[in-house]
Amino acid sequence: MEATSLTNTVAESEAQAALRERQGKGARYDSPAAPASDLTLARLGTAYFARSLNAIRDEDLSQDSLIPGWSRRHVIAFVAYQARQLALAIEAVHEGAPLPEIDQAGMLALVDDGATLPARALRNLVDHAEVHLNVGWRDLSASAWQEAIKWDGALLPLRMTPWIRARSVWVHAVDLDNQGSYLDFPPVLLEAMAVELVRDNEFGHSSLTRNAGGVWIVNSLKAESSVSGAPADIVRWLSGRGARRLSKTAESVSSFDLTRWPPVPTRPA
């Protein structure tokens, strides 16, 4: 088994080396020190968001999103400017420049302005900002991945930025209220989000368990109650997007300000 594994590893390395030689010096690759699984989730989520956005006609962009008080335009602008601000901060780390900082009020001001852009400009903003962020990630060295940036009043480890982006693009694709569904989320994403939400929300002193049938159960010690359901439905409810197909009627998690969720963690994962 070990010999076979070593042979496969060598073959994979040789194939990657051959690919890089064909693509030339201008091609960019993630550092081996990068958080590969989170980057994969972020990039898959970006494609998922793009499909949802591309299915919306320009004249329908001003319709309400699932976030109270926000149109689809606001959601799109948020996704774009989040990528842009992360990219600028990462760029500063890469260049050794002073770290830029944007707080929540500044971000929401950008979103309000971005929501007024013409449809084509708004779509281009999303595309260009995402390319900017992806290039920033791929330019980071192994040592740079250990640095931190300023984000919403706190120091945020760079290693957490792909996870922040992954949560955001997947959830906000659903917020566009056009074909997006938590049922489409990768299982590994659902599990990570559920663990984080149960740990950080104000549902009570809670725990997450699962039974042999794959049903997830959120137990609230504070309320002496529990809510159970399929993983996608549990995460949908915990993230403040409403209760569907759960074991009991669960009230929305009112403690979330949906314009801010997914929140930026203030501690390393």
Block means of pLDDT (10 residues each) for the chain, 269 residues, are: 46 49 60 93 97 97 92 96 93 87 83 96 97 94 91 86 95 94 96 86 70 84 75 89 76 47 45
Q: What is the pLDDT of residue 138?
A: 94
Distance CA 104, CA 69 (A): 16
CA distances from 227 to 44, 156, 189, 209, 210 (A): 30, 32, 20, 11, 11
Cβ neighbour number for residue 69 with a 10 Å cutoff: 9
Q: Judge if pTM exceeds 0.85.
A: no
Q: What is the pLDDT of residue 26?
A: 54
Q: What is the pLDDT of residue 208?
A: 86
Question: 248 near 238, Cβ under 8 Å?
Answer: no
Distance CA 128, CA 88 (A): 13
Counting Cα atoms < 13 Å in the Cβ hemisphere of 185 gives: 28
Q: In this structure, what token pair is assigned to residue 31?
A: 């550092």
CA distances from 153 to 101, 106, 109, 156, 261 (A): 8, 12, 16, 9, 16
Distance CA 200, CA 234 (A): 15
Q: What is the pLDDT of residue 242?
A: 81
Distance CA 81, CA 101 (A): 13
Q: What is the pLDDT of residue 18?
A: 52
